[in-house]
Structure 1
Amino acid sequence: MTDLARTPQQIGNLVRRARKKRDLSQTQLADQAGVRQETISLIETGNPAARLETILAVLAGLDLEFRIVARRKAGPAESRKSSDGPPSSPCTAACAPQQPTCWPPHQGGKRCYSIPVRG
């Protein structure tokens, strides 16, 4: 299972979901990651000041990986605005139904952050 996140808030939501799926408290995850419980709380609430090194330690504590992949460029059929709902692109068909954080789907050739969840 792979989840995509493009904002600190989305990363925080993914971390919270993964932690709860593993029945861990914030304190237990903090102990595994070598950080304070308050740091876990800040990450889960989407604090943009969280250091990449800290996020990587938390992901490792959850047995997750951090990957960077290129976004797919939108074709003519996918040129609608994101407020119009998800276009029918290969990315949307592949991930949006299972991964609501993959919206808007890979537009503009920018990069997105992929956090695979092993379960």
Structure 2
Amino acid sequence: MPRAVTLSTDELAGLSRMGDTIRLARLRRNLSQAELADRMGVVRSTVAAIEAGRPGSRVDVLLRALVTLGYTDRLSEILASDPIGDDMDLDVGRQRGGRRPDVGAF
């Protein structure tokens, strides 16, 4: 059984903003929720849940909505700029531990 996930206020606000953006994009394209759902290959209630910012939608379904609405280039733009990562050392990553000394020799 899936474990319930508690989202922070900021995360919930982000879902709500994303839902509003997807709804606005759908309306600008003169699509009903049913039409968008059909193009995405999901049921209408899934589109309604995404637009309402309800947690629980899978990432692949959110991605499918964004791609269906033509946001493919925008997704690349989001990942292209990484101001926090730009300030980090490129060599940072998983560090291997050194060799352990032999324990048997006292």
- Which whole-Å deviations, capped at 9, do the CAs of 1:56-92 have from their partners, x for residues lacking one? 1111211112333435xxxxxxxxxxxxxxxxxxxxx
Confirm or deny that 1:16 pairs with 2:23: yes
- In the alignment, residue 44 of structure 2 is paired with which amino acid? Q
Give the distance between the partners of 1:42 and 1:70, measured in 2 at CA: 29
Structure showing greater Rg: 2
How many percent identity over aligned positions?
32
Partner of 1:70: 82
Higher share of residues assigned helix: 2
Q: In the aligned structure 2, how far is the partner of 1:62 from the partner of 1:36?
A: 16
Name 1:59's counterpart in structure 2.
Answer: 66
TM-score where L is the length of structure 2: 0.58
**TM-score in terms of structure 1 length:** 0.52
* Cα distance in structure 1, aligned partners of 2:21 and 2:64: 15
Point out which structure has higher relative CO (alpha carbons under 8 A, 6+ apart). 1
Residue-pair matches, total:
68
Query: Of 32, 37, 57, which aligns to 1:30?
Result: 37
CA RMSD, aligned part only?
1.9
- Residue type of the alignment partner of 2:42: V
Q: Secondary structure at the match of 1:7?
A: helix
In structure 2, stretches of 5+ residues that fail to align are 1-12, 86-106
**Gap regions ≥5 residues in structure 1:** 1-5, 72-108, 111-119
Inter-partner Cα distance in structure 2 for 1:59 and 1:52: 11
Query: Where do residues 1-119 of structure 1 align in structure 2 (5 Å cutoff)?
Result: 7-65=14-72, 66=75, 67-68=78-79, 69-70=81-82, 109=84
